[in-house]
Amino acid sequence: MNASPGPSAVRTTAAVLVPALACAAAHISPAATWLPSVRRACFPRLAGVGRPDHVALTFDDGPDPLSTPLFLDALDELGVRATFFVLGDGVVRHPSLVAETVGRGHELGVHGWGHERPWLPAPAADRRGLLRTAGAIHTLTGRRPRWYRPPYGILTSGRLAAARTAGLRTVLWTAWGRDWTPSATGASVSAQVRADLHGGGTVLLHDTDRTAAPGCWRAALAALPEIVAACRAARLSVGPLAEHWTRGGAAG
């Protein structure tokens, strides 16, 4: 017959388990902002809600020498500038593409060094990755990035603290195209974005398939003209986050 643990063993287990659970809860609790209803209702600025006559157009996961130049060409044809949330390891591998993106009038935000999942606390690595990426962007372009969007849109306490240390403002999105899925098409991406499109919104698309289904970026590229046309039909201007909060271009 097995003996039940004594009171001292129970107290020891609780002394170890309770702080560990508290630490885990503190680490992951900001991830609740991933839910669109939560962030729109409680954290509109985090969601990217800006001035009502403007839509911010943003892209994640680049730069990618195969696909990003095609997005730059399409945006030129549409007369639109955007914000590209880039990964630091891609920045150092493709410096000329980073410089070209900025040279063609777009702005860069920080998406992290790689595209890591956030389930385990890693505050030192978070801070190091954001600072390293922001530094690489500044070195290559002469401009300090202003924005941060975490991989998968999942915030943690470590990622929030790292963004503050790096002087970055965290911005998620109000509309996305689900353009990372293998079944995505230009029509499906456009319809998904337009379903949640409104003045003051921030649109999330991807200019690469680096962390998604192979070739899925083609759906986002095909959807761009219709998305921009829908904004203009609603008399909404389209541009980067730098223009999203005030007409003068400075974030409020």
Q: What tens digit of pLDDT does each residue of 126-174 get?
A: 999 999 999 999 999 999 999 999 999 888 889 999 999 999 999 999 9
Give yes or no for a contact between 112 and 133, defined as CB atoms under 8 angstroms apart.
yes
Active site residue 60: yes
Q: What pairing do the DSSP bridges indicate for beta strands 175-176 and 54-60?
A: unpaired
pLDDT band at 26 (very low <50, low <70, confident <90, very high): low
Active site residue 53: no
Q: For the chain, what is the radius of gyration of the CA atoms?
A: 20
Domain range summary for the chain, segments of one domain joined by +? 30-243
- Higher pLDDT: 223 or 20? It is 223
Say which range, 19-33, 108-122, 214-228, has the weakest mean pLDDT: 19-33
Q: For residue 155, how many C-alpha atoms fall within 13 Å in the half-sphere facing its CB?
A: 25
pTM to 2 decimal places: 0.86
Coil, strand or helix at 231: helix
Check residues 75 and 3 and name the one with the higher pLDDT: 75
The architecture of the domain spanning 30-243 is Alpha-Beta Barrel (3.20)
Bridge partners, 238 (sequence order): 55
Eight-class DSSP state of 6: P
Please tell me which residue in 27, 54, 60, 244 is annotated as part of the active site.
60
Report d(CA 42, CA 45) in Å as an integer: 9
Nearest to 194 by CA among 244, 231, 233, 243: 231
pLDDT tens figures, 180-202: 999 999 999 999 999 999 999 99
Whether residue 213 has pLDDT greater than 80:
yes
Catalytic residue, chosen from 61, 206, 207, 209, is 206
- Which tens digits make up the pLDDT trace of 47-87? 999 999 999 999 999 999 999 999 999 999 999 999 999 99
Residue 10 confidence (pLDDT)? 43
> By C-alpha distance, which of 152, 175, 149 is closest to 227?
175
